[in-house]
Amino acid sequence: MGTVSIAQHPSKSHQTLTIEPGAERGLQGAIALPGDKSISHRALMLGALAVGKTEIRGLLLGEDPRSTADCFRAMGAQISELNSDCVMVEGIGLGQLHEPADVLNAGNSGTTMRLMLGLLASQPQRFFAVTGDASLRSRPMNRVIQPLQQMGAAIASRHGGYAPLAVQGRELTPIHYQSPIASAQVKSCILLAGLLTPGKTIVTEPALSRDHSERMLRAFGATVEVDPERISAAVVGPSRLVGQSVQVPGDISSAAFWLVAGAIAPHAELVLNQVGVNPTRTGILDVLHQMNADITLENQRDVAGEPVADLRVRSSTLRACTIAGDLIPRLIDEIPILAVAAAFAQGTTIIRDAAELRVKESDRLAVMATQLAQMGAQVTELPDGLEITGGAPLHGAELDSYTDHRIAMSLAIAALNATGTTTIHRAEAAAISYPDFVPTLQRLLS
């Protein structure tokens, strides 16, 4: 059925994933997904800020939540060793973050850096320095620095908006921020800054981004108001958070790789257990249904304030579609794997309004366009999207993840359905959000 192997590159410090698809590419079985990345970050952060104990079950054990845990440990929170059974967090209380003796390192994680900035900026009389890896140091931070400065924050940055950053915490004043972009990281940063700020801090978005912060803040006892018509969310400070028990659902952004793998492979039937299906995240399901994918939602239920379902996907013949507008924030992380789906669909898929992808862990529009083209796909890069004409058979190629986890996994799924051998360099990036991705792929093919 094909083979998948991962090996240390002999001359470089990275790993190369080699995929040789077999003649018969059936994919069958059940998959337990890693915990949702967005919810994992928030559970660790709110647990650290709460009074009392927080228990987190199903936490994502990827590199990104580890960065969050390490930063908050450095500021005094007691967080047990990370495991997916039960992580215990002993919170220190809002406004009680210790001044760390060294630089806080958010690694590759934009969520860690941006959400944390709201908290640091609002801690009076403490100084914080924050950095990240090469990818994160090239990602724009002005989108959070500017609104925080409107609240009175003192933040200095490199090259006018890039990490490393220096934050002198102080008491802030509330604002009503009209965000020019639909970004949960921006919204959450401002709401977190509002927790300690006396009065009502409001964020309005042009389209609704994921609402995990609003849900979890409320569950931890903060006063949160949402206005679905105006697409705004508000926090009333000063708040007090109380430790909770959190069950992290499976990450729909990780499920997306198997949804597309199952839809495009012949003779496939995969069941993905306990996947978060929060409506602010299910754009991928809407689009795949529109593309004629055979996906059913089973056993729908609520788990700790988040809707969850088991997803079953079977092989199908995909059709092209258009992905644009308000849908984009609901599938922002799934566009690389949707580009793969489009390469196997009949007709021309158009993705627009997705310029945000250029400032993710890599420039995902440019990288997906060049890497899929190496495999023989017909792709045109647009300023804010991609145009992909499906149906051209893909062939194996030598590819690069550009250290981006979602690119590494998307290309692996494309490679499974190509003829010949594909090598993906810097494939270890998958561990950012899905440490078991390669072993799961190996198990499905064995």
The catalytic site residues sit at: 333
Smaller CB separation from ligand S3P, 237 or 329: 329
User: Which region, left, alpha or beta, applies to residue 229 given φ > 0 means left and ψ of -120 to 50 means alpha?
Assistant: alpha
Among 16, 38, 40, 282, binds ligand S3P (CB under 6 A): 38
Q: Which is nearer to ligand S3P, 25 or 212 (CB)?
A: 212
One residue of 251, 333, 334, 404 binding ligand S3P per CB under 6 A:
333
67 is an interface residue for ligand S3P by CB under 6 A: no
Report the alpha-carbon distance of residue 308 to residue 100 in Å, rounded: 37
Please say which residue, 45 or 196, places its beta carbon nearer to ligand S3P: 45
Our CB check for ligand S3P shows the closer of 94 and 332 to be: 332
Indicate whether 332 belongs to the interface with ligand S3P (CB under 6 A).
yes
Residue 392, both tokens: 């051209």
Q: Do residues 346 and 316 touch, judged by C-beta distance below 8 A?
A: no
**Angle CA 222–223–229, to nearest 5:** 125
Of 166-174, 184-192, 269-277, 282-290, the window that binds ligand S3P (rule: CB under 6 A) is 184-192
Beta strands in 197-338 (DSSP E): 199-204, 223-227, 232-237, 245-247, 268-276, 294-303, 306-314, 322-323
User: Judged by CB under 6 A, does residue 122 bind ligand S3P?
Assistant: no
Q: Give the Cβ contact number of residue 179 at 10 Å.
A: 19
Among 68, 183, 239, 440, binds ligand S3P (CB under 6 A): 183
Are 209 and 194 contacting, i.e. CB atoms less than 8 angstroms apart? no
Stretch that binds ligand S3P, among 71-79, 179-187, 229-237, 295-303 (CB under 6 A): 179-187
What mask, x for binding ligand S3P by CB under 6 A, covers residues 101 to 120?
A: ----------x---------
Instruction: Compute the distance between CA of residue 247 and CA of residue 109 in angstroms, rounded to an integer.
Output: 22
8-state DSSP, 419: B
- Cβ closest to ligand S3P, residue 341 vs residue 432: 432
Site for ligand S3P in 206-245 (CB under 6 A): 209-210
Whether the CB-CB separation of 30 and 443 falls below 8 Å is answered with no
Q: Which residues bind ligand S3P (CB under 6 A)?
A: 38, 111, 183-185, 188, 209-210, 332-333, 356
